[in-house]
Amino acid sequence: MKLLISVEELDELIAGNYIKPSFENDEEYVLTIRSLSGSSKEIMVITTEASELSPSDKNKIKKLVKADNGHDTTDEWINSWRMTWKGTRPKGMGSRAKCIENMKNFFQLFPEYTKEHVFKARDKYFEQLDGDYRYLEQADYFIKKRVPDGEGGVETRRTLLTYCEEVMLDEEFGIDEPFSIYKDL
């Protein structure tokens, strides 16, 4: 499948790391969808040889790029994400339906994060627990939990958001391992 786009739209896709240059033609780029396992699939060639995308072509590419960030496929990968909680404590995996609902809500509120970020955030959380699961939050509460605020109201806690922010900072500053002030003691 070949998709024609404007130079401005091409620049946006390159800046977002959604496409890479084609080896066969300097004027063409390839949109590649990558999975968390590292496998990838080239799904279309994009070129700037013609002027603008038609509205239906724009919708096609938006859907493909959006699917790549995991937002629209949450119900397909949520079990894999929850499996880390399995066997840690009773009800640790939480409700699948609640995990899907909370994760979709999370992506609506924080679209800058991807499926890859939430998997890394989960892994960072478990690394910091270091095998001590006494205070482990169950999976659906890790994403979002509503708790009394002590003043008769309710507040929403999002532990996942905190860990996603840490993951983004690690990426920004090129940190590969967790930082600890106790490491050298």
Q: Do the beta carbons of residue 158 and residue 166 sit within 8 Å?
A: no
pLDDT in tens, 7-28: 677 667 666 666 665 555 555 5
How confident is the model at residue 118, as a pLDDT?
A: 94
pLDDT band at 37 (very low <50, low <70, confident <90, very high): very low
The mean pLDDT of the chain is 75
Torsion of CA 178, 175, 37, 133, to 10 degrees: 10
The pLDDT tens digits of the residues spanning 86-131 come to: 999 899 999 999 999 999 999 989 988 989 999 999 999 999 998 8
Q: How far apart are CA 61 and CA 171, in angstroms?
A: 26
Q: Which residues pair with 46 in a beta bridge?
A: 3, 29
State how far the Cα of 19 lies from the Cα of 3, in Å rounded to an integer.
Answer: 12
Report the length, in residues, of the chain: 185
pTM summary value:
0.59
Instruction: List, for residues 134-167, the tens digit of each pLDDT value.
Output: 999 999 999 999 988 888 888 889 999 999 999 9
User: Residue 152 and residue 48: Cα distance in Å, rounded?
Assistant: 58
DSSP state of 81: H
Contact indicator for 45, 29 with CB cutoff of 8 Å: yes
Within a 13 Å sphere around the CA of 164, how many CA atoms are in the beta-carbon half? 19
**Whole-angstrom distance, CA of residue 126 vs CA of residue 72:** 25
Instruction: Show me where the domains of the chain are located.
Output: 2-68, 71-173
Neighbours of 36 (CB within 10 A): 14
What is the share, in percent, of the chain residues with pLDDT greater than 90?
A: 35
Q: How far is CA 24 from CA 15, 28, 57, 88, in A?
A: 21, 8, 23, 50
